[in-house]
A and B are shown apart, each in its own frame.
Chain A
Amino acid sequence: MLAYLIRRLIAAAVMLVVIIVVVFGIFFLIPKWAGIDPAANFVGKQADPAAIEAVRQKLGLAEPIHSQVWEFFKGIFAGRTYVGGGDVTNCAAPCFGYSFRTEQEIFPVLMDRFPVTLALALGAALLWLLLGVSAGVLSALKRGSIWDRGAMVIALGGVSLPIYFTGMVAAAIFIYGLGWIDGQFVPLEESFTGWLGGLILPWITLAFLYAAMYARITRATMLEVLGEDYIRTARAKGLAEKTVIGKHAMRSAMTPVLTMLGMDIGALIGGAILTETTFNLPGLGQAVLQAIRTQDLPVILGVVLITSIAVIVANLVVDVLYSAIDPRVRLA
């Protein structure tokens, strides 16, 4: 178990390094190849050459790409000092650098936004897991019934709807039409009910989309598992149907669902870009979209790093959970 964890952590670290290098590649090499100067981009359109040169020196943009990547990594663990044009800027560890646009230090900005995205992702995940898995299991058990058909039609509709469309329709109805909720995001520290009011629609619309996917997957795997020999054996032993379904079938049917859950939560924590844009939630997704539009590389790097860590951690947790749920899986 310990050896397994260590191996996974090493693989995760390698993955992170690869991701960072790829992001650097995308934002340094492609503009370079296209003839766009990141330093000029930072200063602004009508900057004088001296100012551009000063920025280039200070941010180390003239250095070769490998040393820029190295400086970035060092900054995360040891902090970083920018020297240039007579002024010195200290950035304490974990230093993700400074935004090209707002000149704010990135790590605190991202930490401000992180709770919003985390609350959105976890709240929605709880909802969709309850809804999707129970609908899928019921459909599989009552295969061919009205309930099964109805649930699967709704689920098929659900996976065919883009979230920004359902989100807009929901907002048009509940915020502007009926006026039930205010729809403005309020931080948890200010008001709990305000916070709930701001998140309830995003949770429901996001959960609806994923619940539809999970219901389809759960139904399919459940049907497959119910056809296996060990279920027949369990029934032949005279076990109660409740035990057969709850203890024997559910355990292995949940494995693919868990895999998806790990990937989905991980990806959402890194920024539910579409949901946050639709509902104007000040989370990581909105931050990264803004940063991509303005080619604010340090912010993009920061969010990508957080996303990748979230995906990797979520997958690791899921893999460890497998062995607890499915007796056929043993970690080695």
Chain B
Amino acid sequence: MTAPLHEPTAEAAPSAAVEAAAASSGTKAVQGRSLGRIAWERLKRDKLALFGGVVVVLLVLVAVFAPLITSLVGQDPDLRHEELIDPLFGTPVGSLGGVSGDHWFGVEPVSGRDIFARIVHGARVSLLVGFASALVAVVLGTVLGILAGFFGGWVDALISRVMDGLLAFPQLLFTIALVSVMPNDLLGLSGSGVRVFVMILVIGFFGWPYVGRVVRGQTLSMREREYVEAARSLGAGRLYILFKELLPNLVAPIIVYTTMMIPTNILTEAALSFLGVGVKPPTSSWGQMLSSAISYYQSDPMYMVVPGLAIFITVLAFNLFGDGVRDALDPKGSR
């Protein structure tokens, strides 16, 4: 921590100025910087975190513009190139899994579909599930955590027991089970759409207790602070205190937990697709590619390396950025 949190007014100013500052206190002389500003300034100095952030932005752009990118490159994720496949072994012709000027990352064994195009399209599923399930978890966790911390009593007891219970649940098992029994058509969605929707809900549902516990703890300690008491004595209602006084103070831990949760959710989505309960073919996803690579990794290791690295780079970028955000928002942090 090199920059001071507040401008050193009293010490630096001569005594006459102190009186002037006192008279106009809170308006101009003591210009406190907002938490967001302090955090941003710290984050700007953290090169690794910024690098992670840039990669994240790039990945989001790739996911959003996936069809445009693949058509610009002249590839189609579903087009089969069987002429590029060795008919005897089913593996791609040429070195490194068929890498060429046309097929930057090579082609899939047997079908010969372009791996680059499938990776680019796979980013959509990973990021959509990662972000949306984090959103579900954060909304549920914040609302229920605040309720538990603020109202206490039986509300707190009930919500806390549910959180303990969910944390002790065999989560991956339940997620697999739930996703696998879902019908093929649901709420107007079908096939992979249903799977994506269910994955978002289930991953988010198992994630909220992590946010909920932190928010509850923070709320518990904050509701006894003087500023809440001051608001109450001025006649503020419960809802006003909840949303106008408490929520702004919970923003920092909520942001930290959200950024930390996204990479975990991306890994969970990849794991589900790897286990065959994620999105259905022909929709491509990284986990699914790795799962089919398991049969070929002796003969065609490239097919395993590309989606594996895609997951690794994505999760690493989110983790770097998340660590940076946490350090920047932590008042105790000393970087």
Contact = CB atoms under 8 A, between A and B. Distances in A.
A23 interface: yes
A43 interface: no
Interface in B135-187: 165, 167-174, 176-178, 180-183
A308 B301 CA distance: 37
The interface centre, meaning the residue of B177, B311, B323 with most chain A CB atoms within 10 A of its CB, is B177
Interface in A289-330: 289, 292-293, 295, 300, 303-304, 307-308, 311-312, 315
A108 interface: no
B168 A162 contact: no
B290 A165 contact: yes
A159 B276 CA distance: 23
B277 interface: yes
A267 B170 contact: yes
Contacts of B174: 22, 26
B304 A311 contact: no
Contact of B173 (A31, A164, A273): A273
B275 A289 contact: yes
Tell me the dominant secondary structure on chain B's binding face.
Answer: helix
Interface stretch (B18-26, B88-96, B103-111, B266-274): B266-274
Contacts of A315: 168
A293 B319 contact: no
Interface string B294-335: 100110010011001001100110011001000000000000
Given A162-B311, A164-B274, A165-B290, A176 B181 contact: no
Contacts of A267: 170-172
Nearest to B301: A172
A23 B106 CA distance: 43
A93 interface: no
A162 B277 CA distance: 17
B292 to A, nearest CB: 12
Contacts of B320: 156
Contacts of A23: 177
B184 to A, nearest CB: 8
A162 B173 contact: no
A225 interface: no
B294 A278 contact: yes
Contacts of A31: 181
Interface in B211-239: none
A160 interface: yes
Nearest to B277: A292
B84 interface: no
B316 A295 contact: no
A270 interface: yes
A20 B308 CA distance: 36
A30 B170 contact: no
A145 B166 CA distance: 39
Given A162-B270, A164-B271, A273-B176, A308 B170 contact: yes
B117 interface: no
A263 interface: yes
B319 A159 contact: yes
A91 B105 CA distance: 55
B293 interface: yes
A169 B308 contact: yes
Contact of A27 (B177, B275, B304): B177
What's the interface size class on B, roughly?
Answer: 35 or more
Contacts of A35: 183
B267 A162 contact: yes
B276 A293 contact: yes
Contacts of A273: 172-173, 176, 275
B122 interface: no
A82 to B, nearest CB: 24
A318 B305 CA distance: 39
Interface in B271-292: 271, 274-277, 287, 290-291
B249 to A, nearest CB: 21
Given A168-B308, A171-B297, A303 B271 contact: no
A76 interface: no
A161 interface: yes
B170 A165 contact: no
A274 B271 contact: yes
Contacts of A274: 172, 271, 274-275
A30 B271 contact: no
Given A172-B298, A172-B304, A274-B274, A300 B165 contact: no
Contact of B316 (A22, A157, A278, A288): A157
A292 B298 contact: no
A263 B166 CA distance: 12
The interface centre, meaning the residue of A161, A164, A312 with most chain B CB atoms within 10 A of its CB, is A164
Interface in A1-58: 15, 18-19, 22-23, 26-27, 30-31, 34-36
Contact of A270 (B170, B183, B308, B315): B170
A172 B167 CA distance: 35
B263 interface: yes
A136 interface: no
Contacts of A303: 173
Contacts of B297: 168, 171-172, 176
27 contacts: A19-B169, A26-B177, A26-B178, A30-B181, A156-B316, A159-B319, A162-B290, A162-B308, A162-B315, A164-B290, A164-B294, A165-B304, A168-B293, A172-B297, A172-B301, A172-B304, A176-B298, A270-B173, A271-B173, A273-B275, A277-B274, A288-B173, A300-B177, A304-B173, A308-B168, A311-B169, A311-B170
Interface of A: 15, 18-19, 22-23, 26-27, 30-31, 34-36, 156-157, 159-162, 164-165, 168-169, 171-172, 176, 263, 266-267, 270-271, 273-274, 277-278, 288-289, 292-293, 295, 300, 303-304, 307-308, 311-312, 315
Given A159-B315, A308-B170, 8 more contacts: A160-B316, A161-B312, A168-B297, A169-B308, A267-B171, A273-B173, A274-B271, A304-B173
Q: Lowest 10 A-B CB distances belong to which pairs?
A: A34-B183, A165-B308, A160-B316, A160-B315, A307-B170, A30-B181, A176-B298, A292-B180, A270-B170, A172-B297
